[in-house]
Structure 1
Amino acid sequence: MGRPTFAAARASALLGSALTLALVTGCGGGGEPPGASAGGTRADPGPPATLKQLAARTGCARPQVQTDAEELRQGVCKTGEGQYTVTTFSTDKGRDEWLAEAKKWGGAYLVGTRWVIAGNDPGMLRLFSEKVGGTVMSGGHEMPSGAEHGPAAPVGAGAPPG
């Protein structure tokens, strides 16, 4: 059997990212106040790198590969810094399309040339940016009605009174 088609690989990776990010973030926005991420934190863009290279530079010796397609590769890392997803792309256009969809689920993203590292903690991603380059961004989280809400409580803080 051949490699998955672009549409199938993209759908699989987006679903995997959404589920992983939801588990990691608890559907939270990362704990930054609203508007704090408007400009992002900038560092020099990183050069194109492989999933394995990015994982190694962030302290992840063995990423658990979830998607391995021609257009993108994605793996989950768990280190002392936290849990995060590393995704590499064959083009920046593919990265941008993936990121536009993924940001709807909230979380934080470190974005470089043909790659994204997604996690719950913008501070962790800022540390990673010193090692791999890139720009830290935060995603929004939309309610089913389309109305946005502010950042959720940190993971493990318990549910807000309802």
Structure 2
Amino acid sequence: MPTVRLIRGTALAASLAFLPLATACSSGGDGDASAGSKPSEMSAAPAAGVVAPAKVEVIASLTGCKAKIRIEADELRQGLCHTKKVDYLITTFPEEKYKQTWLDSAAIYGGKYLVGSRWIVSAKEPEMLEGFRAKLGGTIQQLRGIGPTPGPSAS
């Protein structure tokens, strides 16, 4: 049993380690001081029925890439897509509770994520998420992040 916990802990830590890569280019905020996430409206993507919930490979195919699986664990699977336009991560979860735990953990980093039924897409270029949403459905969530916010400058 300790080995299973170690593997699960390692998978979660590895997933969170890739999170800063996925959010490195995001602005981290839109001037909204509210905490938590702010989902965009749901779009009715034609392929969404195929995706929710889906495998990393299915989502990758719908977004035009072949994912390289980075994490394979009981709580999640994560694949990296590398294209000429953008690098992005596709994370799928066997249960909704694991997705929510992942989002709660990611909230400290902030950033934008495309969130569907038991899956999340995160991109270095968050503006690409809108195009993915047209193909996959889901909602775009802005996670605020924690830490100091810029205060007024002294004149």
Map 1:73-152; keep pairs closer than 5 Å. Answer: 73-143=77-147, 147=148, 149=149
* 1:43 lines up with 2:29 in the alignment: no
**How many residues get paired?**
141
Amino acid at match of 1:5: V
Percentage of identical aligned residues: 33
CA contact (8 A) 1:13 1:74 kept: no
The TM-score, its normalising length taken from structure 2, stands at: 0.75
Q: Distance in 1 between matches of 2:137 and 2:64?
A: 15
Q: Which has the larger radius of gyration?
A: 2
1:13-54 CA distances to partner (integer Å, 9 max, x unpaired)?
Answer: 44333332323433x543652229734243248421100001
CA contact (8 A) 2:22 2:89 kept: no
Residue number among 60, 63, 66 corresponding to 2:65 in the alignment = 60
**CA 80–30 in structure 1, closer or farther in 2 if over 3 Å, else same:** farther
The TM-score, its normalising length taken from structure 1, stands at: 0.72
Report the aligned-residue RMSD: 2.8
Structure 2 stretches of 5 or more lacking a match? 151-155
Q: Distance in 2 between matches of 1:97 and 1:55?
A: 23
Q: Distance in 1 between matches of 2:139 and 2:18?
A: 21
Q: Distance in 1 between matches of 2:75 and 2:28?
A: 32
List 4+ stretches of structure 1 deviating above 6 A: none
Residue number among 28, 31, 34 corresponding to 1:34 in the alignment = 31
Aligned to 2:4: 5
Q: Distance in 1 between matches of 2:29 and 2:64?
A: 24
Amino acid at match of 1:33: D
Amino acid at match of 1:43: S
Aligned to 1:159: none
1:87-119 CA distances to partner (integer Å, 9 max, x unpaired)?
Answer: 000011111111111121122111101111112
